[in-house]
Amino acid sequence: MILSYQSLDHTLLTLPQVVSMAVAGRKGHLAIIDAKNMGLIKEFQVRETVRDVVFLHNELFFAAAQKKYLYIYNCDGTELHCMKEHGVVLKLQFLKNHFLLASINKFGQLHYQDVTTGVMVANYQTGLGRSDVMQVNPFNGVVALGHSSGTISMWKPTSAAPLVKMLCHHGPVSSLAFHSNGCLMATAGRDKKIKLWDLRKFEVVQTLPGQEKAMDFSQKGLLATGTGSFVQILGDFSGSQSYNRYMTHSMAKGYQVHKLLFRPYEDVLGIGQSMGWSSILIPGSGEPNFDSWVANPFETSKQRREKEVRSLLDKLPPETIMLDPSKIGTVRPTWKKEKPSKQEIEVEKEAAIASAKSITLKKKTKGRNKPSKRDRKKQEIVERAKRPFLEQQMEEEGSSKKKRQMMGQQTELPKSLQRFARKKTEERL
């Protein structure tokens, strides 16, 4: 065990970042800790229930779901905003590429709010009741919610209906986690099963026994599961999406695991439990080579400011959130031209007749410029303009007649029942 913090009146949740880590207690304790030297940066007491906490675009700001409302604080503990529109929030997630703060409240309402402009992008009623499980797919930005009916629904801010609604368990969903590649999802339910799903086909890859309360994937694909006072690490060492036991860890007797989160770029697993929080070493869990343009553990304040400006310039609109983001930038396939409506055909016909009538005829020599001949010529021009519309109408009537005949042949009754059908038609007549 690397570090342990104990508090008898707190159930703490750890939210690790590259540089800092936020710790929130159920009874109102909030703290920011330096992830490199585990030194305390700031701690304060809000004196009310805290259900969830999440960092925003960097470690300077974080959001806390408290007893009645959602609050945003800075790293000094100063309250910046109180967002009453979200209601009594149960779970929070932040979409870093889109600068969207997503929340689900106790009435099953899903909110998306842009933290750069403060605009409420979307507010949808899930219609599936209260949800205590919420995760974001890091690959495409789709928000997944676990419900008490055993279903998992996936949402995006531009759709009032779920993109996917799948029955995963025969009981309430207790935990949910996404692999960093976005193609693998792990779910756990009260039916004492852990299921691994291939999101490309929405099929179960593997089913394991266990009633887990917390799960999380590491950057290298290790899956941490926790229930009661036991933590288990599963690994796919064959590359065939077949997870086996890698490591196990037992907490002190009576300690209940509530949250598991891997530290990025470190072989460390943070454990939030009923008596505080602790961290353990998991060899091979973190990515050893970091990209300083994506996440720099040693960035200075100047680099952080430059990174913030770049991320704001590269901010993606909510419309880019979809199940398959590889479709962005591709050419849309050509669709067959839709048939014009009757009103549009009438308008085109009238326009063609009007243009035909407006044609000025040449003045011809004496004897060939009689009014009757001019009227006959104009009538021929008008009929020539009407002809394509009449031909199209005849073709449509012929095709519809053929369809009716085909349908009549297909639905023709057998001889034993035809006499009843004749009687009915006679009665109608």
3-state helix/strand/coil string of the chain:
CCEEEECCCCCEEEEECCCEEEEEECCCEEEEEECCCCCEEEEEECCCCEEEEEECCCCCEEEEEECCCEEEEECCCCEEEEEHHHCCEEEEEEECCCCEEEEEECCCEEEEEECCCCCEEEEEECCCCCCCEEEECCCCCCEEEECCCCEEEEECCCCCCCCEEEECCCCCEEEEEECCCCCEEEEEECCCEEEEEECCCCEEEEEEECCCCEEEECCCCCEEEEECCEEEEEECCCCCCCCEEEEEEECCCCCCEEEEEECCCCCEEEEEECCEEEEEECCCCCCCCCCCCCCCCCCCHHHHHHHHHHHHHCCCCHHHCCCCHHHCCCCCCCCCCCCCCHHHHHHHHHHHHHHHHCCCCCCCCCCCCCHHHHHHHHHHHHHHHHHHHHHHHHHHHHHHHHHHHHHHHHCCCCHHHHHHHHHHHHHHC
Q: Contact at 8 Å (CB) between 260 and 253?
A: no
For range 256-275, the mean pLDDT: 88
Q: Give the side-chain half-sphere CA count within 13 A for 113.
A: 21
pLDDT at 374 over 50: yes
Say if CB 199 and CB 184 are below 8 A apart: yes
pTM across the whole model: 0.72
Please give the distance of CA 184 from its chain centroid, rounded to a whole number. 15
Most confident of 21-25, 47-51, 236-240: 47-51
8 Å CB contact between 177 and 217: yes
Q: Residue 356: beta bridge partners?
A: none
| pLDDT tens readout for residues 288-313 | 888 877 788 788 889 888 988 998 99
Residue 1: pLDDT over 50: no
- Give the mean model confidence (pLDDT) for residues 61-77: 92
Confidence of residue 188 (pLDDT cuts 50, 70, 90): very high
Predicted confidence at residue 7, as pLDDT, reads: 45
pLDDT exceeds cutoff 90 at 82: yes
Residue 415 has pLDDT above 90, yes or no: no
Strand partners, 305: none
pLDDT in tens, 137-167: 999 999 999 999 999 999 999 999 999 999 9
Are 222 and 284 spatial neighbours (Cβ–Cβ below 8 Å)?
yes
d(CA 268, CA 280): 6
